[in-house]
Chains A and B, each alone.
Chain A
Amino acid sequence: MSPMSRRKFLRAGLAATAGVAGIAAADRLAHRYGLIPPDGGGIYGPGETLNYAAQRLLTPHAPAREFPRSMISKTPFANAVAPQSDAFKQLQAGGFADWKLTVDGMVTRPTEFSLADLKHFPVRRQITEVACEEGWSYIAEWIGTPLQGILHEVGVLPQARYIAYFSIYPDWWDSLDMSEALHPQTLLTLGMNDGDLPVSFGGPLRLRVPRQLGYKSVKYITRLTATDSMKKFGKGLGSVEPEYGYAWWAGI
């Protein structure tokens, strides 16, 4: 081996070692500061982790854009959902008077809320955009109560790291990290454009997460669970979407 190539070889070796050590150090730091999303493994794990970590580091508290009333869409698009179950139809026939939101898990006071109970919490109205990962979007006014108030009411324990949320549909659930769950715009939504939230848009109760794409705003919410790990739910990827290839963190 000539000196030239030996020097090159040494330099490349040093660079590679530094690179591997750097990635290992970054990985440890990322774990310590909670920058790894639940779906941070697998071949797309590096990209998901970079997306999520960049958001956590650069824009943890930024609000989603809100719009003037004049920009509310005349033709909001209600995405297709599967036909409703008999249980849902029964609740609907009763005007959703018996709809219950169960809040449990790592909380001091597990509670069941009716829709009437939720209406006693402070009301927030926000005009935000629903942006679907497919590309389309619309703007509407969403009326409800910030999730943070409910979490405060039930006394979420400090070791809780995620809020998992479940639809009346058995295979439709998702989760948020605590900073997203406590974000003032994360809204338990009961109304839309000055009326009740229509069933086609997720009524009677939808969790609107306007800093993320539409699919994080799960419709027909019946249960919230505070947890320290998403490993216990489904395939442990944080929500049902990653099981179909979609990202858990959907801010991009």
Chain B
Amino acid sequence: MLGALCYSPHVSAAGSPQNSPTPRHGAVVRVTHWLTVIAFFALLITGGEIVISHPRFYWGEVGNSLTQPLFTLHIPSSRATVPTGYNYVMPDQNGWSRALHFQAAWLVVLTGLVYGIAGFWTGHFRRDLVPRRGQRTWHAFRGVMGKTFRRGPPDAAEARSYNVVQRATYLIVIFVLFPLVIWTGLAMSPAFTGAFPLTVIALGGRQSARTLHFFISGALLLFVVVHVAMVYLAGFKSRMRAMITGRAIAEEERP
């Protein structure tokens, strides 16, 4: 009875020799990845919706329909007060967009905290993301880029670990773009900037923060587009399986 509880001759599937003994992606990485995917798309759609209510961008502290914009998106607005050149006012979706934007921002921040702490704790950053000693050269970087553009076959090692371009990109997204997009977002909050004025002064003002938030979001979107394209080229099914179940499969498929 007790023996049955403590010992079983059957080896569970996760540990069976046909599959890799260590998962391609750990459970924390997989769960936080997909939570971030959900949050990112919510933030992207609602962020776009919020921009539509005032598709003009400024630099400095203040800017409105009576001041010179830095640039304007040539789209209709959801507000009649914005001079867009269109005779058409889009429906106002700003209310729920803002609510979902902040709710998704909380999700991505809390998810990011879990991921960040686990990443340092488990050595995920050191092991999987910091470029390995032999990779830390322009030569290695250019080699990967060249091969990617020639669409050469991936190294066998790339089914198991990241190459230098992937490592550098993920590090920039995780430690530069995400912190910046959160910072520039908070720098638009009158309550937050009241408590921490330097967070907005350092960016050049509230409108500068808004403009930077827009461009950093654009950089994150660019990352997602390239990321999904690369997943597709590397073998969509196997990469998706690795990020969902954690297990890499032996043979690579090509689309």
Q: Are A133 and B98 in contact (CB under 8 A)?
A: yes
Q: Are A137 and B8 in contact (CB under 8 A)?
A: no
Contacts of B105 in A (CB 8 A): 47
Q: Are A134 and B194 in contact (CB under 8 A)?
A: no
Contacts of A94 in B (CB 8 A): none
Nearest-CB residue, chain B, relative to A242: B95
Q: Are A79 and B81 in contact (CB under 8 A)?
A: yes
A63 at the interface (CB under 8 A from B): yes
B156 at the interface (CB under 8 A from A): no
Binds A, one of B50-58, B119-127, B160-168, B244-252: B50-58
Among A2, A133, A247, A252, which residue has its beta carbon within 8 angstroms of that of B8? A2
Contacts of B14 in A (CB 8 A): 4
Q: Are A211 and B80 in contact (CB under 8 A)?
A: no
Most buried by B among A63, A129, A136, A241: A136
* A15-70 residues at the B interface, CB under 8 angstroms: 44, 46-48, 50-51, 55, 58-59, 62-65, 67
* B52-100 residues at the A interface, CB under 8 angstroms: 53-54, 56, 61-67, 79-82, 94-96, 98-100
* B91-134 residues at the A interface, CB under 8 angstroms: 94-96, 98-100, 102-106
Q: Complex Cα distance A220/B192, Å?
A: 28
Among B12, B50, B188, which residue has its beta carbon within 8 angstroms of that of A131? B188
Contacts of B143 in A (CB 8 A): none
Contacts of A246 in B (CB 8 A): 94-95, 98-99
Q: Are B54 and A2 in contact (CB under 8 A)?
A: no
Q: Complex Cα distance A48/B61, Å?
A: 26
Q: Are B190 and A251 in contact (CB under 8 A)?
A: yes
B222 at the interface (CB under 8 A from A): no
Q: Are B192 and A131 in contact (CB under 8 A)?
A: no
A93 at the interface (CB under 8 A from B): no
Most buried by B among A47, A76, A77: A47
Chain A min CB distance to B197 (Å):
5
Among B6, B62, B82, which residue has its beta carbon within 8 angstroms of that of A137? B62
Interface size for chain B: under 10, 10 to 19, 20 to 34, or 35 or more residues? 35 or more
Per-residue contact bits, chain B 1-35, to A (CB 8 Å; 1 contact, 0 not) = 00001111011101100000000000000000000
Q: Are A47 and B99 in contact (CB under 8 A)?
A: yes
Interface size for chain A: under 10, 10 to 19, 20 to 34, or 35 or more residues? 35 or more
Contacts of B100 in A (CB 8 A): 44, 47
Q: Complex Cα distance A75/B81, Å?
A: 15
Among B61, B79, B96, B192, which residue has its beta carbon within 8 angstroms of that of A71? B61
Chain A min CB distance to B134 (Å):
36
Given A4-B12, A79-B81, CB of A247 within 8 Å of CB of B98: yes
Chain A min CB distance to B226 (Å):
28
A80 at the interface (CB under 8 A from B): yes
Chain B min CB distance to A71 (Å):
6
Q: Complex Cα distance A212/B190, Å?
A: 6
Q: Are B106 and A75 in contact (CB under 8 A)?
A: no
Among B81, B99, B194, which residue has its beta carbon within 8 angstroms of that of A62? B194
Q: Are B190 and A211 in contact (CB under 8 A)?
A: yes
* A128-161 residues at the B interface, CB under 8 angstroms: 129, 131-139
Among B5, B99, B194, which residue has its beta carbon within 8 angstroms of that of A3? B5
Among A46, A59, A136, which residue has its beta carbon within 8 angstroms of that of B65? A136
Q: Complex Cα distance A67/B205, Å?
A: 11
Chain B min CB distance to A170 (Å):
20
Given A137-B61, A211-B190, CB of A245 within 8 Å of CB of B206: no
Contacts of B210 in A (CB 8 A): 135
Given A4-B12, A135-B50, A139-B61, CB of A65 within 8 Å of CB of B103: no
Nearest-CB residue, chain A, relative to B50: A135
Q: Which residues of B contact A (CB under 8 A)?
A: 5-8, 10-12, 14-15, 50-51, 53-54, 56, 61-67, 79-82, 94-96, 98-100, 102-106, 186, 188-195, 197, 200, 206-207, 210
**Besides A58-B195, A133-B98, 20 other CB < 8 A contacts?**
A2-B11, A2-B12, A3-B8, A44-B100, A51-B106, A55-B191, A59-B195, A62-B191, A62-B195, A64-B191, A129-B190, A131-B206, A133-B94, A135-B50, A135-B51, A135-B210, A136-B65, A137-B62, A137-B64, A245-B95
Closest 9 CB pairs of A and B: A245-B95, A47-B103, A251-B191, A59-B195, A62-B195, A44-B99, A75-B66, A136-B64, A77-B64
Pull 12 A–B residue pairs with CB atoms less than 8 Å apart, ordered by A.
Answer: A2-B12, A4-B12, A51-B102, A58-B195, A59-B194, A76-B64, A131-B190, A136-B64, A136-B65, A137-B64, A137-B207, A138-B64
